[in-house]
């Protein structure tokens, strides 16, 4: 077992001999075997134990046992107690999920250890595979528990439970039995005690078969990920505030488009149900995760963070320079007729006789209308103007409007002035020069 352990640690590149590892030890057979293997290998380690207070006196006895184990091996000992049931009732999570979260958060907080080792073994990976299949999963749920994930390493992943038990008995190790492990109340235990034994009747070498299966699944996932990455590069176009997904390119991957969208959008918090609906949604439909919004635009799915602009207004009492949100607007009154016309969409010239202070700078609102220059004074909804200019919903929410004292829109900043505020070269005596830009 020691030789197999050392070979697995080396070939899996889990740690180097001089690197300190914090061992998560419950006091059960698996974690006690892990402690002894680290001791035999001469690896520097400490022991950490979580008391979840779920088994009354037995939980305290487990903690005392593990504390004594640390004394026996002459290594540092860390422990913590959690009111797991109370925390679970307040968070609406299962006790198992709460315990797992509390455990890893605490382990990660302990300093001076490069790695954190848990005693998950081959049978744990087999049980996890079946749990994933029951819940529903993609290829990533088939490869078992990874041997390394961030700082977490699982150096016993190569060994079966039976092999670890034989090793523990051979080395005359002591361990604690958790009575809850024999109960079929929990799904994992039901798989362990009812499903796996039935499968072993059909295949006595079940662990070896699954070890080979996991190897194949990992290789398949590797090539699957390579293909996904290549397709994503074709689909995604970076934008200033997010990215877009080319709908026409996505159609070419129709048989696998849900997997593609999952790879792109699931890390952003979009649910499986949303990912099924997005390809078939109508133009204009929006989908929200906690952090992002996806908009079904004409040719693209547009994805941005849920960061709405400030809906405050800026009152402008007179000419001058004003700062608003991340922008700055410069307004200057000039007598006479312009000698040149703006060559930037962020500049505008407005008739001084028509512009009446105080002005207001704000974002677009539903129902806004104005008279676009070039339409002979006809009114148009600002929303329709945006649509005609093919401005997506994200962008139009960030386009400022300059509002005259009487409520008329004088300028859709960066796009169009109003017909009502244009300079009449034969009648105007003065004009305002406006320039808008980022601070």
Tens-digit pLDDT profile for residues 15-34? 998 999 999 999 999 999 99
| Dihedral, 378, 380, 382, 386 alpha carbons, nearest 10 | -100
Question: If you average pLDDT over residues 77-97, what whole number do you get?
Answer: 89
Mean pLDDT of 30-42: 97
pLDDT at res. 350 = 95
Task: Give 282's DSSP letter.
Answer: P
Q: Which of 33-37, 146-150, 253-257, 284-288 has the highest mean pLDDT?
A: 33-37
pLDDT digits (tens, 9 = 90+) for 387-434: 899 887 778 878 999 999 999 999 999 999 999 999 987 777 899 999
Q: Count CB neighbours of 380 within 10 A.
A: 15
Q: Is 261 helix (H, G, I), strand (E, B) or coil?
A: helix
Dihedral-angle region of residue 353 (phi above 0 means left; psi in -120 to 50 means alpha; beta otherwise): alpha
Residue 168, classed as helix, strand or coil, is helix
Whether pLDDT at 207 is above 60: yes
Return the exposure string of 164-189: e unless at least 16 CB atoms fall within 10 Å of the residue's CB, then b: bbebbeeeebebbebeeeeeeeeeee
Torsion sign, CA atoms 338, 343, 347, 351: positive
DSSP secondary structure, 207-221, as one string: HHHHHHHHHHHHHHH
Residue 302 confidence (pLDDT) above 80: yes
* Displacement of CA 300 from its chain's centroid (Å): 22
Band of residue 370 on the pLDDT scale cut at 50, 70, 90: very high
Give the other-Cβ count within 10 Å of 221's Cβ.
17
What confidence score (pLDDT) does residue 308 get?
A: 54
In the predicted model, what is the mean pLDDT of residues 212-225? 94
User: Which pLDDT score, from 0 to 100, does residue 184 have?
Assistant: 74
What would the pLDDT profile of 175-188 be if each residue is shown by its tens digit?
998 877 777 777 88
Whole-number Å distance between alpha carbons of 184 and 416? 70
Contact 288, 308 (CB under 8 A): no
**Over the stretch 243-285, which tens digit does the pLDDT of each residue have?**
999 999 999 998 888 889 999 999 999 998 899 899 999 988 8
For residue 280, give Cα distances in angstroms to 56, 270, 274, 391: 53, 16, 10, 22
What is the C-alpha separation between 125 and 140, in angstroms, rounded? 13
Is the pLDDT assigned to residue 38 strictly greater than 60? yes
Tell me the backbone φ, ψ of residue 351, rounded to 5 degrees. -65, 125
């Amino acid at each position: 077992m020691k030789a197999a352990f050392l070979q697995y640690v080396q070939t899996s590149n889990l740690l180097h001999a001089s690197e300190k590892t914090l061992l998560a030890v419950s006091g059960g057979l698996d974690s006690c075997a892990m402690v002894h293997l680290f001791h035999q290998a001469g690896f520097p380690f400490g022991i950490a134990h979580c008391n979840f207070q779920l088994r009354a006196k037995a939980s305290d006895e487990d903690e005392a046992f593990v504390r004594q184990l640390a004394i026996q091996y002459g290594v540092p000992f860390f422990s913590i107690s959690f009111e797991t049931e109370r925390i679970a009732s307040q968070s609406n999570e299962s006790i198992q999920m709460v315990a797992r979260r509390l455990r890893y958060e605490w382990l990660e907080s302990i300093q001076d250890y490069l790695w954190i080792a848990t005693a998950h073994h081959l049978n744990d990976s087999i049980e996890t595979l079946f749990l994933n299949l029951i819940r529903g999963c993609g290829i990533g749920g088939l490869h078992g528990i990874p041997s390394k994930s961030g700082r977490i390493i699982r150096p016993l992943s190569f060994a079966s439970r039976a092999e670890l038990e034989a090793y523990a008995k051979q080395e005359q190790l002591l361990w604690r039995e958790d009575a809850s492990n024999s109960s079929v109340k929990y799904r994992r235990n039901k798989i362990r005690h009812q499903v796996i034994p039935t499968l072993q009747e059909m295949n006595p070498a079940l662990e070896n078969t699954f070890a080979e299966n996991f190897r194949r699944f990992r290789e398949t996932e590797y090539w699957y990920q390579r293909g996904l990455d290549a397709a994503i590069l074709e689909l995604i176009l970076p934008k200033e505030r997010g990215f877009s997904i080319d709908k026409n390119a996505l159609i070419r991957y129709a048989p696998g488009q849900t997997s593609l969208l999952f790879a792109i959008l699931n890390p952003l918090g979009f649910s499986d149900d949303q990912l099924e609906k997005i390809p078939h949604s109508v133009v204009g439909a929006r989908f929200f995760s906690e952090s992002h919004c996806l908009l079904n635009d004409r040719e693209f799915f547009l994805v941005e963070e849920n960061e709405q602009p400030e809906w405050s207004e800026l009152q402008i009492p007179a000419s001058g320079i004003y700062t608003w949100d991340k922008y700055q607007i410069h307004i200057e009154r000039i007598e006479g007729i312009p000698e040149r016309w703006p060559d930037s969409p962020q500049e505008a010239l407005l008739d001084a006789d028509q512009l009446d202070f105080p002005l207001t700078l704000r974002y677009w609102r539903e129902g806004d209308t104005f008279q676009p220059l070039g339409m002979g004074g006809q009114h148009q909804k600002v929303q329709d103007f945006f649509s005609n200019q093919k401005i997506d919903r994200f962008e139009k929410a960030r386009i400022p409007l300059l509002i005259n004292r009487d409520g008329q829109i004088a300028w859709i900043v960066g796009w169009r002035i109003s017909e009502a505020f244009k300079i009449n070269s034969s009648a105007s005596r003065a004009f305002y020069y406006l320039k808008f830009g980022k601070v």
